[in-house]
Structure 1
Amino acid sequence: MKFINRIKYLVVLGFLASCSYEFPAPDIQEPTSGSADMSKIISVGNSLTAGFMDGALYTRGQQNSFAVILADQAKVVGAGDFNVPDINSVNGYYAMGPQGPLGRLVLRVNPTTGAAAPAPIGPGELPAPFTGNKAALNNFGVPGITLGTALTPLTGGPASAENPAYNPLYARFASNPGTSTIIGDAATALGNGGTFFTFWLGNNDVLGYAIGGASNPAILTSDADFTQRLGLALGAMLQANAQAKGAVANIPSLAVLPYFNLVPWNALPLDAGTAAAVNQGYAQYNGGLLQLQAMGAITAEEVALRTINFTAGQNGFVMHDKHLTDLTQYGLPSIRQSNNTDKATLTLSQALGQPVGGDPQQVRGVSSPVEDSFVLTKIEQDEVSGKITSFNNIIAAAVQSNAERLVLVDVNALLTRVLQGQVSSGGVGLTASIVPPNGGFSLDGVHPNARAHAFVANEFIKAINQKWGANIPMANPNAYMGNDLPM
Structure 2
Amino acid sequence: MKNKYILLSALAIGFASCEPEFENAVDANYTAGEANFSSYVALGNSLTAGYMDGTVSRGSQVNSYPNLLAQQFALVGGGEFTQPSYADDVNNLGGLMLGGNPIGNTRLVIDASQGRPETIAGASTIEVSNLQAKAFNNMGVPGAKSFHLLASGYGNLAGVSIGQANPYFVRHATTPSATVLQDAMTKNPTFFTNWIGANDVLAYATNGGATSNGNTAAADHNITGNLNPSTYGGNDITNSNVFANAYSTILNTLTNNGSNTVIKGVVCTIPSVTSIPYFTTVPYAPLTPSALGGSTNINALNTQLYGPLDAIFTAYGEPNRINPLSSTSANPILITDVDAADRSAQITAALTPTLGAPTATAFGAIFGKARQATSADLIVLPASSVIGSTNTSAPSPVNINGVSYPMANKWVLTANEQAKVASATTAYNNIITGLATTINTNAGHTVIAVADMNAIMNHLVTGLRTENGSFYTANYFSGSANEGAVLFSLDGVHPNARGYAVIANEIIKVINREFKANLPLKNASNYPGINILPVN
Q: What is the aligned partner in structure 1 of residue 239 from structure 2?
A: 222
Give the Å deviation of 1:161.
Answer: 8.1
Residues 26-425 of structure 1 aligned to structure 2 (within 5 Å): 26=25, 29-88=28-87, 89=89, 90-93=92-95, 103-109=106-112, 111=114, 116-129=115-128, 134-135=133-134, 137-160=136-159, 163-177=162-176, 179-190=177-188, 194-215=189-210, 216-217=218-219, 218=233, 219-241=236-258, 242-268=261-287, 269-270=291-292, 271-282=294-305, 283-292=307-316, 298=317, 302-331=318-347, 332=364, 333-357=368-392, 361=397, 362-403=399-440, 404-425=446-467
Indicate if the aligned counterparts of 1:249 and 1:411 stay in contact, CA closer than 8 A. yes
Are the counterparts in 2 of residues 87 and 130 from structure 1 also a CA contact under 8 Å?
A: no
SS in 1 for 2:298: helix
Structure 2: 5+ residue stretches without partners: 1-20, 211-217, 220-232, 348-363, 441-445, 478-482
> Deviation of residue 453 (structure 1)?
0.7
Q: Which residue of 1 aligns with 2:484?
A: 437
Partners of 1:155 and 1:133 lie apart in 2 by: 15
CA–CA distance in 2 between the matches of 1:104 and 1:181? 28
Aligned to 1:125, what secondary structure does the other structure show?
A: coil
The alignment partner of 1:55 has SS state of coil
How far apart are the structure 2 equivalents of 1:378 and 1:110? 37
Return the TM-score normalized by structure 2: 0.78
Secondary structure, aligned partner of 2:110: strand
Superposed displacement of residue 279, structure 1: 1.3
CA contact (8 A) 1:430 1:452 kept: no
* Secondary structure, counterpart of 1:387 in structure 2: helix
The one-letter amino acid paired with 2:255 is L
Task: Give the TM-score normalised by the residue count of structure 1.
Answer: 0.86
Cα offset, 1:159, TM superposition: 3.9
Instruction: Return 5+ residue gaps in structure 1 as ranges.
Output: 1-21, 293-297
Q: Could you tell me how far apart the structure 2 residues matched to 1:142 and 1:57 are?
A: 10
**1:187-246 C-alpha deviation (Å, 9 max, x unpaired):** 2223xxx21111110000000000110121251111111111111222222232543211
Percent identity between matched residues is 31
SS in 2 for 1:314: coil
| AA aligned opposite 1:146 | K
User: Hey, what's the Cα distance between the residues in 1 that align with 2:419 and 2:297?
Assistant: 35
- Partner amino acid for 1:221? T
Per the alignment, in what secondary structure is the counterpart of residue 492 of structure 2? coil
Which SS does the other structure have where 2:204 is aligned? helix
Give the 3 Å change call, closer, same or farther, for CA 167–308 of structure 1 in structure 2.
farther
How far the C-alpha of 1:24 sits from its partner, in A, is 7.6
Q: Is the 8 A contact 2:450 2:510 kept in 1?
A: yes
Post-superposition offset of 1:54: 0.2
Match of 2:274, SS state, is helix
- Separation of aligned partners in 1, 2:342 and 2:298: 27
